[in-house]
A and B are shown apart, each in its own frame.
Chain A
Amino acid sequence: MTVVSDVKQCLASLKGVEASLSNLAKRTEDNSSKRTLHETMMEVSEIVADLKKRVGELENEEYQYKGY
């Protein structure tokens, strides 16, 4: 089973998305687009937090995968 590494990969991608969205929101000049991007960034960061928790649980369950 490789679920932990899959979830970790997804988590990493989402973190990347979060950072890119925040970067884009900062650069965007149009205010409504800026707000939408920022809100989306917040939502993504909530998902990231959830996934992080899940990764922690999985690591406890499958101890040998820890550290990947």
Chain B
Amino acid sequence: MPEWLEVTVRSVLFVIVLFFMTKLIGKKQIAQLSFFEYVTGITIGSIAGESIMGLDGNLSYGLIAITIVAAIPLIAGLISLKSKKFRDFTEGKGTIFIKDGKVMEDNLKKERITADELLQLLRRKDVFQVSDVEFAVLEPTGDLSVMLKKENQPLTPKDLDMKVASIKEPQTVIMDGKILDEPLATIGYSRGWLKTELEKLGVTIENVFLGQVNSYGELTVDLFDDKLQVPSPQERPMILSTMKKCQADLELFALATEDKVAKQLYTKNSKKLQNAIDKVSHILKS
């Protein structure tokens, strides 16, 4: 076999081997989450390189070495699933850098992180002022996780005592002008329903780049032809406004009528409707 052919064969072979090895070890290997994955990543790479180019060496030795090196993180991963102590040893523990808003200088020294590097790590998390931080820990992977003081954390609906409607993930039902049957079936709709909804929007399926259905069963689309205006779903705001109108009507009737019993009935029902509106408006507002 000429040497160039042998190199080609070996390269292809090792690319395939490396592909399956990495698949086997899983996503952890790609993210290089722990010490083991980091080390094996480097080692497997250099063994493969050596085996491809070392034409005089035996090919099978390279394969054996790669298998062993790949098996170690696999076994270590299985053991660390069971044992916390082993996990702490192999994957390492986080180092607390900031606690109760105060920088732990000793821990910085232990990890050999300078003040500049700490600031840099914080900036990567969009924190520019150390005093904004309540707690920060350097993860074994080298990322800094930051918990801001409560007053510096983003405002959430919970802070404002706001009611928000919980939603489920939307399903993509049209892609590149083609209907995706599986997600459509997941949310329990048929092609016929989708065609009707598209007709309501006044667009053809060929013109739709992306179409998604939200948890209220409303279809939203993005078209290839960006000049075309697509109406946004109006049903929910429409219900809300009709309810508001009826509530105002009932109040008006209560004022207009002279019959006492009727007045009472109108007032009672307008209040009831107002309560209903308050209860449901967070869902109907889009």
A36 to B165, CA, bound (A): 10
CB distance from A63 to the nearest CB of B (A): 16
CB distance from A59 to the nearest CB of B (A): 13
Tell me if B273 and A24 are in contact (CB < 8 A): no
Is B83 interfacial (CB-CB < 8 Å)? no
Set A7, A17, A39, A54: member contacting B242, Cβ < 8 A: A17
A17 to B245, CA, bound (A): 11
Tell me if A29 and B239 are in contact (CB < 8 A): no
Say yes or no: A43-B275 contact (C-beta < 8 A), given A6-B249, A20-B239: yes
A17 to B250, CA, bound (A): 15
By CB atoms of chain A within 10 A, which of B166, B167, B239 has the most? Answer: B239
A28-68 residues with Cβ-Cβ distance < 8 A to B are 28-30, 32-33, 36-37, 39-40, 43-44, 46-47, 50-51, 54, 57
A59 to B155, CA, bound (A): 54
**Chain B contact residues: over half helix, strand or loop, or mixed?**
helix
Tell me if B276 and A14 are in contact (CB < 8 A): no
Q: Can you report 28 residue pairs joining A to B where beta carbons are below 8 Å apart?
A: A3-B253, A3-B256, A6-B249, A7-B253, A9-B249, A10-B250, A13-B242, A13-B249, A14-B246, A17-B242, A17-B246, A20-B238, A20-B239, A21-B239, A24-B217, A27-B216, A27-B217, A29-B168, A30-B165, A30-B167, A33-B167, A33-B283, A37-B283, A39-B279, A44-B273, A44-B276, A47-B269, A47-B272
Set A3, A40, A46, A50: member contacting B280, Cβ < 8 A: A40
Say yes or no: A24-B235 contact (C-beta < 8 A), given A33-B166, A47-B273: yes
Interface residues in chain B, defined as those with a beta carbon under 8 Å from any beta carbon in chain A:
165-168, 187, 215-217, 235-236, 238-239, 242-243, 245-246, 249-250, 253, 256-257, 262, 265-266, 268-269, 272-273, 275-276, 279-280, 283
Interface residues in chain A, defined as those with a beta carbon under 8 Å from any beta carbon in chain B:
3, 6-7, 9-10, 13-14, 16-17, 20-21, 24, 27-30, 32-33, 36-37, 39-40, 43-44, 46-47, 50-51, 54, 57
CB distance from A22 to the nearest CB of B (A): 11
Q: A-B pairs with CB below 8 Å: how many? A: 83
CB distance from B187 to the nearest CB of A (A): 7
Tell me if B275 and A13 are in contact (CB < 8 A): no
Tell me if A10 and B256 are in contact (CB < 8 A): no
A36 to B279, CA, bound (A): 8
